[in-house]
Amino acid sequence: MSHSPRSSAGSRSRRRASSSRSARRKGKRGILRKILIGFALLVALGIGAVVAAYLMIDIPKPNDRAVQQASVLYYSDGKTEMDRIATVNRESVTLDQIPKPVQYAFLAAEDRSFYDNRGISPKGIFRAISGALAGQNRGGGSTITQQYVKNYFLTQDQTLDRKGREILLSVKIDGELSKDQILENYLNTIYFGRGADGIQTASKAYFDKDVQDLTPSEGALLASVIRGPSLYDPALGEEQTTLATGRWNYVLDGMVSQGWMTAAERQDQTFPKTTAPKRSTAKSNDIGFITEEVRTELRNRLRLSDADIDRGGFKIVTTIDKKAQRAAAKAVKEQRPTGERTSDLHIGLASVQPNDGAIRAMYGGAKFSQGKYGYFNSAVDGKMQAGSTMKPFTMIAALRKGLPLSTTYSGASPYYNKAFVSTGAGTSEIQRNGGVVNYGNASYGPATMRTATQKSINTYYAQLNLAVTPKSTARSAEDAGVVGWNGDKRAPLSQTPANVFGTDAVRVIDMANAYATIAAEGRRATPYYIASVKSTGEYKLDYKVKKDVRRAFPQDVARDAIQAMSLVDKPGGTGYPTVADLGRPVGGKTGTTSNNYAAWFDGFTPGQLATAVGMYKGDGRLVEKNQLVNLGGFAEITGGTIPARIWTDYMIGALDGEPVKSLPPAGNVTYRPQTDRPSNAPAPITTTQAPAPRRTTQAPTPRSTTTKSSSSTSSSSSSSSSTTKSSTSSSTSSTSSTSSTTKTSSTPTSTSTTPPPPASTPPPSTSSSTSTPPPPPMTTAPLLTPPARPGAGTGGVGEGE
């Protein structure tokens, strides 16, 4: 039977379709073969390139880094050398000088497969490459060979190029050097902190012994420290001790797991005690403290590692003015009390250029690295309550709200308001009744903001702070650059009514910067120590500071604040006559805490320098032994005495030869209706009557500008005279992370039978005889103790200036 035409046509169609599919399959297989061939060629080329690179790369001489230049610090002129950072400090030893348990400690910490691997870690390489592609530092788990290559021949850059060179060099070194030689070179070149390169100098730096005398426990700590000297050196603080202990345990446990130590031997290990850090490469005078701050800025701003800093070969131009720094050291040396109870006296000074942020001088101590406080920087590490140096920020808060300098309140003392009631342990009767007193309990009539600032009238500022709200005071202070501290941690400024009296713990360096903001007419700058850095060695760097200056509050507000603060050196001002010796227009404020636990003078010359001087005693706790009384021949130290004298002498030297600049014009802030005044805030008095002290006081005796006896005279006159110096907070918080939060206030002998008034807000009036209820029995000025924040100490209202 024959096939039909339709069947023949279908058969031909099927054959054509099958042929077409077969052709397509052949085409796809051809493309796939081409891709595979291309990929193979690329792999071959890659392998060839790697092999070629491997063959061409040379191993640098191990001692190339040993001749690296030291980093040199210069004064602000860029020519005069100020100090040197860690000239490479290395003393090489052979591997057989290093005890076996110490060697094993480093292997347990960094590379437990060291004697088995080929110099690289594939897993670590993958993490490093993925991190570089993502722009992150994910760690690399580098082998000891890789670390040796990176630290000794390359840089710390997180780039694929550097990682590629590291891998090739590591493989090549592993193939050409024995494992023992690699380990020896590694231990002689790794950086341990404390200016020590290599395990021998590290042994001396941490344990004051040669490497052959190290115990397994000490070796385990050194193996822990190299992970980050600034983070794992237990001598640097509690946090570092915690980290070091955890890493130390990890190392010892690793030695047990690898069979390098028995469980019984592990049980016998105790955490080793290190010697105090000594940086022989830094100057042991006041400059050494600056060098340490420069190191910190190199780490934090320029992101350099400790090894980069100590071995980088940098030319570092600082902001420090040589003339100003010498003037600071000279002023403190000449005016610092000596003799009885002065060995633990802390004096800090910082001087900042307004509208710039450059730190022109910083005095943190006399002898860096020497003695009990050799590593304690009084200008940076010391924290003390601010006292009346906080009052200008309440004034600024008022001006920002439209309360002009003519705003008037009664200056009578005491002033009572339930907002200031304190019932804590050790409080006096007047405190429990919400009383605020002026220095010496001097009483004034109606006072303007100008006069209240000049004379530091506590009772005026208590009322003003209620009117503007404590929250606004805290915000103005923070806007200017004031930073609160709780032990060694930053903390928000308090927002209680007593914050106007400086109940927060602050630092000298921050107060200098905050006053620089006022001097710059409301423009705040971020302070800095480094103007520029250029590399003279292998690490490539060309850095110039980018100044950060921005407006903190309006210009007219700052200008009016300057006008009020400029009366500090005029007759009746709390800095008179000492500050008047400068012979230039100034603005400033004294500060003395209750019971003389701290004393300040912060001030500025227009557009030139803003300087803060703060001093306190001992560990900063509110205990009798830390009071600034009966020491070095002084009955008491207040802000208007030694701090003002140091400030004035420093400014005379620092500004010698500089032009005298005038104060800016008044801002003329005008009154704006206050629609949000708190219910507990008294209304201002409408009269502008000049204040008249109830007491007659003898004018201060003119003083010499160079002798301590003159400062003593100032102290005496301050206690009894027109300056009515006020401060409301006591105490300091410095070397200890937690300060005392209680203090004793004795109840004075009664000389009156007048009972204390109720704890309520008195109605405002224009007469000082009726504006304030009669005071409770008293012969001295008691103080108010507001609720204390941990680490900030307790603040008192009264007694200070």
Parallel, antiparallel, or unpaired: how do β-strands 415-416 and 435-436 relate?
A: antiparallel
By mean pLDDT, which of 103-117, 249-263, 369-383 is the weakest? 369-383
CA separation for the pair 431, 417 (Å, rounded):
10
CA separation for the pair 383, 485 (Å, rounded):
7
CB atoms within 10 A of CB 647: 29
Strand (E) or helix (H) holding 179: helix 179-189
Check whether 138 has a pLDDT greater than 50: no
The pLDDT of residue 132 is: 55
The pLDDT of residue 703 is: 37
- CATH number of the domain located at residue range(s) 87-268 in this protein: 1.10.3810.10
CA separation for the pair 216, 222 (Å, rounded):
10
Residue count (the chain): 801
Backbone angles phi, psi at 581, to 5 degrees: -65, -20
Nearest to 70 by CA among 316, 313, 315: 313
The pLDDT of residue 668 is: 97
The pLDDT of residue 535 is: 85
The pLDDT of residue 550 is: 97
Check whether 707 has a pLDDT greater than 50: no
How far apart are the two ends of the chain, measured CA to CA in Å? Answer: 130
CA separation for the pair 701, 710 (Å, rounded):
9
By mean pLDDT, which of 78-82, 613-617, 651-655, 777-781 is the weakest? 777-781
Nearest to 647 by CA among 451, 386, 363: 363
**Stretch 409-426: mean pLDDT:** 90
The pLDDT of residue 230 is: 86
Look up tokens 């060697």; give the residue: 103
The pLDDT of residue 176 is: 80
- Give the pLDDT band (50/70/90) at residue 571: very high
Strand (E) or helix (H) holding 559: helix 555-565
The pLDDT of residue 797 is: 52
CB 532 within 8 A of CB 77: no
Residue type, 351: S
CA separation for the pair 787, 422 (Å, rounded):
7
DSSP 18: H
**Stretch 154-168: mean pLDDT:** 57
The model's pTM is 0.64
Best-predicted range by mean pLDDT among 39-53, 226-240, 720-734? 226-240
Could you give the residue ranges of the DSSP H alpha helices within 57-121? 100-110
Mean pLDDT, all residues of the chain: 79
530-546 pLDDT, tens digit each: 999 998 765 678 999 99
The pLDDT of residue 129 is: 60
By mean pLDDT, which of 127-136, 221-230, 740-749 is the weakest? 740-749
**What does each C-alpha distance from 342 to 114, 411, 480, 633 come to in angstroms?**
56, 36, 33, 10
173-227 pLDDT, tens digit each: 877 889 999 899 889 888 899 888 889 989 999 999 999 999 999 999 999 999 9
Asked whether the bond before 404 is cis by omega within 30 degrees of 0, the reply is no
Check whether 756 has a pLDDT greater than 60: no
**Stretch 15-38: mean pLDDT:** 64
**Stretch 117-133: mean pLDDT:** 67
Best-predicted range by mean pLDDT among 55-69, 114-128, 321-335? 321-335
**Stretch 435-449: mean pLDDT:** 94
In sequence order, the 6+-apart residues with CB closer than 8 A to the CB of 190 are: 147, 148, 151, 197, 198, 199, 226
The pLDDT of residue 69 is: 55
- Taking the CA atoms of 258, 263, 267 and 269 in sequence, report the sign of the dihedral they define: negative
Percentage above 90 pLDDT, the chain = 54
Residue type, 184: E
What SS3 class is residue 516? helix
Three-state DSSP string of 614-653: EEEECCCCCCHHHCCEEECCEEECCCCCHHHHHHHHHHHH
CA separation for the pair 597, 360 (Å, rounded):
28
CA separation for the pair 627, 597 (Å, rounded):
5
598-608 pLDDT, tens digit each: 999 999 999 99
The pLDDT of residue 515 is: 98
CB 593 within 8 A of CB 600: no
- Give the pLDDT band (50/70/90) at residue 735: very low
* The domain made up of 67-79+284-671 is a member of CATH 3.40.710.10: yes
Q: Which two tokens stand for residue 480?
A: 């200017």
Best-predicted range by mean pLDDT among 337-351, 362-376, 423-437? 337-351
Q: Which two tokens stand for residue 74?
A: 């210069």
**Stretch 479-507: mean pLDDT:** 95
- Give the pLDDT band (50/70/90) at residue 566: very high
**646 versus 679: which is more confidently predicted?**
646
**Stretch 132-143: mean pLDDT:** 58
Strand (E) or helix (H) holding 123: helix 122-134
**Stretch 487-508: mean pLDDT:** 94
Check whether 757 has a pLDDT greater than 50: no
**Stretch 335-357: mean pLDDT:** 95
What is the residue-wise DSSP string for 335-397?
A: HS--STT-TTEEEEEEEE-TTT-BEEEEE--SSTTSSTTTT--TTTT--EE-GGGGHHHHHHH
**Stretch 582-598: mean pLDDT:** 93
Domain ranges (residues) in the chain: 67-79+284-671, 87-268
**Stretch 679-683: mean pLDDT:** 84
The pLDDT of residue 410 is: 96
The pLDDT of residue 766 is: 32
Same fold flag, 67-79+284-671 and 87-268: no
- Give the pLDDT band (50/70/90) at residue 40: low
CB 387 within 8 A of CB 727: yes
Check whether 274 has a pLDDT greater than 90: yes
In our burial notation (b when 16+ CB lie closer than 10 A, e otherwise), range 776-785 reads bbbebbbbbb
Q: Which two tokens stand for residue 746?
A: 């004795």
Check whether 702 has a pLDDT greater than 50: no
CB 284 within 8 A of CB 307: no
Using only C-alpha atoms, the chain has a radius of gyration, in whole angstroms, of: 35
Check whether 753 has a pLDDT greater than 70: no
The pLDDT of residue 634 is: 92
